[in-house]
Amino acid sequence: MAQLDISQAFLYRVGQSPQFAFRKPHILAHTLDLPVKSAAPSALVNLTGLTRNGLMQALVDSGVVEPRKAKMRATQVWRWMHHYGFTDFDLMTDIGKEQRALFKEKFTLARPEIIERQVSNDGTRKYLIRMAPGIEVESVYIPSVGRAGALCVSSQVGCTLNCTFCHTGTQKLVRNLTAAEIIAQVQVARDDLGEWPSPSEDRQLSNIVFMGMGEPLYNLDNVSDAIDIISDNEGIAISRRRITVSTSGVAPELEALGNRTQAMLAISLHATNDELRDEIVPLNKKYNIEQLMDAIRAYPGISNARRVTFEYVMLKDVNDTPAEARALIRLLKGIPAKINLIPFNPWPGTDYQCSSWSAIETFATILNKAGYASPIRTPRGRDILAACGQLKSESEKKRASVVLREKRLGEQREETASIQDNLPAGESLPFAHLAGGMVD
């Protein structure tokens, strides 16, 4: 079985070269148009984020389905929405017309709106998705990662943890994503890849990594429900062994994560002593390295076949010396582990620089000699806004400039109206002025 190269996904969190954010469109990889679908009206319950039991309960509670038929109806709806990817109840041909009409009155299967989609020359696809007004998240599909291709999904809008190397850490937390909003990211990628119904083989999307915006363990209920849905064999059917949850180190939640999801574990480590980790991953002040390592050793199901992945971003003159490589070996002793070395790619505003290539190679050689797989990952999707959070930030900047223009337009309209009020009878200003033609 191919091992998931989750560090490729991690690259989207730690940032890519800032120049990509400012390249002119003609040298960007092509951005393709997708039909924009409206967000679901809030009064309707979106069924896509409900577990099987939750779905049965919702059908019964709504009064639309009799309890004795709930299991059968839930199975039917489940397959249509999660195996076939349907968003329209009318296409569910094994459900009667009247029943479908009742479903439409109470429920929705609508996808969120895709604000932006970028496709890299290397096939990486990045989506900025609006779940609701002000609720925008990113997800990234990375081909040739894991068995076939991995989707890096977000679990929160923004983040509270302020890891200093992470672009998303600069965006304040808005809220947790619901399970439906996490599933929507998978659906959007599947729509785009044309992977409905769920293929039994030759999939393009084979792995899911919770390594996008946010700390998944601060949203464990919804992450856990989403994993139950994604891994269900009669739906999206991605095995739990191909689902990885990456945490910055919420030590007390690791056991619950393992027990509830059986997901693969990744740790955003980046330092081998508390002093440095306090700085790079401030959550370390709450759960220090010793507490974290104890929790990792106790992670349910950990074994040589289910190794923990440690992510280590290479920061010049910060954490990249041979002594730190040796300290890492000592720290991981006894833990079935793989270490992904991530060359840091700076984003606008960061003070960090990437380690030199020779420093990274020396670091990797020391780890390899100690028996740890420690691949050095090259960034993917370098020609798009690839750092996690970067696409959202750029989109917000664009919108801020639109707001400014509208404000200036409003001011000019007021000014125009006052001039108009004072014009002699029968005279008027040119239309272009009123229409904002003078506003640049």
> CB of residue 269 vs ligand SF4: minimum separation in angstroms?
11
User: In the complex, what is the shortest distance from the CB of residue 176 to ligand SF4, in angstroms, rounded to a whole number?
Assistant: 13
Nearer to ligand SF4, 13 or 125 (CB): 13
Count, residues near ligand SF4 per rule CB under 6 A: 13
C-alpha span between 30 and 8 (Å, rounded): 21
Tell me which residue of 404, 437, 434, 384 sits closest to 118, measured CA to CA. Answer: 384
Q: How far is the CB of 14 from ligand SF4 (least distance, A)?
A: 8
Q: How many CB atoms lie within 10 A of CB 42?
A: 9
HSE value, Cβ hemisphere, 13 Å, CA-based, for 170: 19
Specify the residue, 214 or 346, whose C-beta has the smaller distance to ligand SF4: 214
User: Residue 177, Cα to own-chain centre: how many angstroms?
Assistant: 10
Q: CA 207 to CA 241: how far, in whole Å?
A: 9
Query: Measured between alpha carbons, how far is 196 from 30 in angstroms, rounded to an integer?
Result: 24
Q: Which helix (H) or strand (E) holds 359?
A: helix 357-369
Beta strands in 319-428 (DSSP E): 337-343
| Half-sphere CA count of 355, side-chain side, radius 13 A | 23
410/338 Cα distance (integer angstroms): 57
Site string for ligand SF4, 228-267 (x = CB under 6 A): --------------------x-------------------
Residues 410-429 contacting ligand SF4, CB under 6 A: none
For the chain, the first-to-last Cα distance in angstroms comes to 57
201 part of the active site: no
Taking the least distance from each CB to ligand SF4, the nearer of 55 and 208 is: 208
Query: Toward ligand SF4, which CB reaches closer, 85 or 381?
Result: 381
Instruction: For residues 128 and 186, give the distance between their C-alpha atoms in angstroms, rounded to a whole number.
Output: 13
Please identify, using beta-carbon distances, which residue of 48 and 139 lies nearer to ligand SF4: 139
Among 123, 154, 149, CA closest to 138? 154
Sheet holding 149-153, edge to edge: 113-119, 125-132, 135-143, 149-153, 207-210, 243-247, 264-268, 308-314, 337-343
The interface with ligand SF4 within residues 142-161 (CB under 6 A) comprises 159, 161
| Closest C-alpha to 29, from 113, 116, 115 | 116
Q: How far is the CB of 162 from ligand SF4 (least distance, A)?
A: 6
Question: Can the peptide bond before residue 197 be classed as cis, meaning omega within 30 degrees of 0?
Answer: yes
In the residue annotation, 116 being an active-site residue is answered as no
Asked whether the beta carbons of 111 and 88 are under 8 A apart, the reply is no
Which C-beta is closer to ligand SF4: that of 215 or that of 225?
215
Secondary structure letter of residue 83 according to DSSP: I
Dihedral sign for Cα atoms in the order 185, 191, 193, 196: positive
Q: Which of residues 159-218 bind ligand SF4 (CB under 6 A)?
A: 159, 161-163, 166, 168-169, 213-215
Task: Give min distance, CB of 380 to ligand SF4, in A.
Answer: 18
Q: Which of 116, 136, 138, 215 is catalytic?
A: 138
In the set 152, 159, 163, 388, the catalytic residue is 388
Closest to ligand SF4 by CB, 109 vs 159, is 159
Q: Checking DSSP bridges between strand 308-314 and strand 264-268, what pairing results, if any?
A: parallel
Nearer to ligand SF4, 163 or 360 (CB): 163
How far is it, in rounded angstroms, from Cα 235 to Cα 200? 11
Give me the least distance between CB of 204 and ligand SF4, in Å please. 26
Three-state secondary structure readout of 46-90: EHHHCCHHHHHHHHHHCCCCCHHHHHHHHHHHHHHHHHCCCCCHH
Q: In the stretch 342-361, what mask flags binding to ligand SF4 with x, by CB under 6 A?
A: --------------------
Q: How far is the CB of 152 from ligand SF4 (least distance, A)?
A: 11
In whole angstroms, the minimum distance from the beta carbon of 212 to ligand SF4 comes to 8
Active site residue ranges: 138, 388
Q: Which residues bind ligand SF4 (CB under 6 A)?
A: 13, 159, 161-163, 166, 168-169, 213-215, 248, 268
